[in-house]
Structure 1
Amino acid sequence: MHVRTLAESDIPLPPIVVHRPTMCVIDGRHRLRAAHLRGEERVSVTFFDGDERDAFVLSVLANTHRGLPLSDADRRAAVRRIVLTHAHWSDGAIAAVTGLSSKTIAGIRACATTELPELHSRIGRDGRTRPLSTAAGREAARLYLEDNPDASLREVARVAGIAPGTVRDVRARLRRGDDPIPPKVRAGEQRGTRSPAVAAEMADVEVTSSLRVLRSDPVLRFSEHGRWLLRALGEGMSNADWEEAAAAVPGHLAGLVVGLARENSRRWAEFAEALDAGQPAVLLRHAGC
């Protein structure tokens, strides 16, 4: 019925979304069938170049917010798959994709704990990585507060990578002379201690997960400037990639590369601060406007 309604409409059909590596339709199966009923030989297509896991997420997102809605059973099945393929995503981030509540996501995740990898952080719906254990962030906040006792909560939170509320608790503990890391948090951190090599692998996973969040957003993926941003953020660059890139730099050019890398780092830091603070004038300066 839905397909026939689309076919009988005079309104041009929006482009379908196709996963380029497999040529499977991610979004627009009904539009494709409607075009066939109309006798059309060609349809407009937007290609998605991510992997199959991200393609699945995009298809769920499309069906959640457009077209015929998924049944509750289909949504729950999608959640069970996403919590395994995107374990670093927060319950809220998965809820935004599937249309179920965060509480429901948490319940489904709890049933899949034996299949999930051990994680130390999750990525929220805003794309930010937040630690499941805040021990390291609390320690960083302690050190920063010792040198900058009058720093604002927001400033310390940005430096330490923790929430302002956590900084407030750290500051209060320090004023009382207590350990800034609660016993339960410290115990959990000790149980989760990893070797430097494993920590590096975890960093790779977090970067990859963050990029998957960005790649799955059509606003970035299907715009010229969005694709440029993904490339500029080092899409697909693992620790091993960086090591190989460093090894490829000739000794006589190392100084130039070091200088450019540090200057780019400074610009990215300023860009991040401006974006976090919502300062469009600074962002326009970076864009060359």
Structure 2
Amino acid sequence: MKQEGRIVIAQSVVGVVENSDGGRSAPSAVLPRLPLADIVQPDSPRLSGLSDEHARLLANSDAELPPILVNRRTMRVVDGAHRLLAAKLRGQEAIDVDFCDCDNDEAFVLAVEKNVMHGLPLSRAERTAAADRILGAYPEWSDRAIAAVVGLSHKTVGSIRRRFAKNTEPVTHRRGRDGRLRPVNGAAARAKVSSLLADRQGASLREIAREAGVSPDTVRSVRNVRDVRNVRDARDESRRAEAPTAAAPRAVPSPEHEGPQAAPRRASACVRIQETGPAGRSALMRSLRSDPSLRLSESGRALLRLLDVYAMGPDDWARIGGDVPAHRLGEIAQLARECGRIWHNFAAALEQRQRDAVEA
């Protein structure tokens, strides 16, 4: 992004316009007047030149015309060539002006943007030619940033870029309308982030983002995907280890009515949870919280609040258990056992749904 006083990419490319005293122009400000003879003709994006008919319409109007925009460095018109011609037709010797301070490429961008927003519209051919020229001056600008200036779709700008790119050096990053640089090859950038996350596990999101040349949000997204994949791999490995055992029964018995064979199944489930570990539980909870199908529904949000308990470690449970008042130990133990039975039935019902879906 260029310094203040130059053109920057925000919602679109904006030129900083100043009056002769260096302040921003305002309706109440006294605008400077320049002699028409001191003003240089514009570097216009209009391929066919000025429209005499449009200039005559402006000259014959009783309305006071807005000031023209002039580049202080070159005294060349940036915006208002038809108003300048209308002033000549009226017989004026001077005209009100606003000033901008920029180089030739910046002045052209500003001229295109101004002519897209108001005045006699640019033709599609003129907009296309302007996009081609801006690509030559600013190849690092994104398709959407250029589209916002020239008034074309970003897809059209992309097709112009592909034609233009045959004779230019490839760029690795592009600057968007918000002024931020982003990698052109997103897959390569995400692969680099994944490698950095593996090699530098203690680094912060911003450190990884800065080294990979991406945003912290991209690093967070890659990390979440890695966490989900790690949890899935751990589960798959656990399932493969248990493959020789008999399939679980379709019935959903409560713990009080389970037979002797139920203890190994419960022990096996505990082993899977222990193998996952606190880090795996935290990763799984992060993945669940980021799932829109859960996060954006009322029942899903309620389930996530209940499952937050799942991420607690043994030390947390020991601390909570140690704080239970002695006269309530039996009652809370009874409720905890009942909660365990409810969760057991809930888990078994979900597993049954999963088996039914696979068999279907």
Compute the TM-score of the two structures, normalised by the length of structure 2.
Answer: 0.43
Secondary structure (helix, strand or coil) at the match of 2:92 reads coil
Deviation at 1:52, TM superposition (A): 0.8
In terms of Rg, which structure is larger?
Answer: 2
User: Of 106, 130, 141, which residue of structure 1 is paired with 2:158?
Assistant: 106
Q: Deviations over 1:12-54 (max 9, x none)?
A: 2211112233322111001111111222211112222211111
Corresponding residue of 2:146: 94
How many angstroms apart in 2 are the aligned matches of 1:40 and 1:140?
A: 68
How many angstroms apart in 2 are the aligned matches of 1:20 and 1:59?
A: 14
Unaligned residue ranges in structure 1 (runs of 5+): 179-289
State how 1:245-284 maps to structure 2 within 5 Å: none
Q: Which amino acid aligns with 1:146?
A: Q
State how 1:31-110 maps to structure 2 within 5 Å: 31-110=83-162
Distance 1:90 1:126, change over 3 A: same
Corresponding residue of 2:26: none
Secondary structure (helix, strand or coil) at the match of 2:182 reads strand
How many angstroms apart in 2 are the aligned matches of 1:120 and 1:174?
A: 28
Q: Deviations over 1:190-242 (max 9, x none)?
A: xxxxxxxxxxxxxxxxxxxxxxxxxxxxxxxxxxxxxxxxxxxxxxxxxxxxx
Deviation at 1:124, TM superposition (A): 0.7
Distance 1:82 1:55, change over 3 A: same
Q: Which deviates further from its counterpart, 86-95 or 42-51?
A: 42-51
Corresponding residue of 1:138: 193
How many angstroms apart in 2 are the aligned matches of 1:137 and 1:127?
A: 23
Greater helix fraction, Structure 1 or Structure 2: 1
Distance 1:65 1:140, change over 3 A: farther
The aligned length equals 175
Q: Which amino acid aligns with 1:90?
A: S
Tell me, yes or no, if the aligned pair for 1:6 and 1:31 is still in contact at 8 Å.
yes
Secondary structure (helix, strand or coil) at the match of 1:119 reads coil
Tell me, yes or no, if the aligned pair for 1:156 and 1:167 is still in contact at 8 Å.
no
What is the aligned-residue identity percentage?
45
Secondary structure (helix, strand or coil) at the match of 2:74 reads coil
Q: Which amino acid aligns with 2:193?
A: R
Corresponding residue of 2:222: 169
How many angstroms apart in 1 are the aligned matches of 2:143 and 2:56?
A: 37
Distance 1:158 1:8, change over 3 A: farther
Corresponding residue of 1:147: 202
How many angstroms apart in 2 are the aligned matches of 1:144 and 1:30?
A: 61
Corresponding residue of 2:18: none
Q: Which amino acid aligns with 2:160?
A: I
Corresponding residue of 1:126: 178
Quote the RMSD (CA, aligned, Å): 3.1
Q: Which amino acid aligns with 1:147?
A: G
Q: Deviations over 1:31-79 (max 9, x none)?
A: 1111112222111122222111111111111111111111111111111
Q: Which amino acid aligns with 2:108?
A: F
Tell me, yes or no, if the aligned pair for 1:95 and 1:102 is still in contact at 8 Å.
yes
How many angstroms apart in 2 are the aligned matches of 1:48 and 1:136?
A: 43
How many angstroms apart in 2 are the aligned matches of 1:118 and 1:76?
A: 21
Distance 1:50 1:140, change over 3 A: farther
Secondary structure (helix, strand or coil) at the match of 1:26 reads strand
How many angstroms apart in 1 are the aligned matches of 2:176 and 2:194?
A: 23
Stretches of 4+ moved more than 3 A in 1?
143-149, 154-161
How many angstroms apart in 1 are the aligned matches of 2:218 and 2:190?
A: 14
User: Of 81, 87, 100, which residue of structure 2 is paired with 1:29?
Assistant: 81
How many angstroms apart in 1 are the aligned matches of 2:198 and 2:96?
A: 56
Q: Deviations over 1:85-108 (max 9, x none)?
A: 110100000000011100000001
State how 1:214-225 maps to structure 2 within 5 Å: none
How many angstroms apart in 2 are the aligned matches of 1:14 and 1:144?
A: 60
Tell me, yes or no, if the aligned pair for 2:190 and 2:218 is still in contact at 8 Å.
no
How many angstroms apart in 2 are the aligned matches of 1:141 and 1:92?
A: 30
Q: Which amino acid aligns with 2:91?
A: G
Q: Deviations over 1:142-178 (max 9, x none)?
A: 27993379x8xx9987997426356323321244249
Q: Which amino acid aligns with 1:31?
A: R
Q: Which deviates further from its counterpart, 129-138 or 49-58?
A: 129-138
Secondary structure (helix, strand or coil) at the match of 1:146 reads coil
Distance 1:167 1:144, change over 3 A: farther
Corresponding residue of 1:235: none
Deviation at 1:8, TM superposition (A): 2.3
Q: Which amino acid aligns with 2:172?
A: H
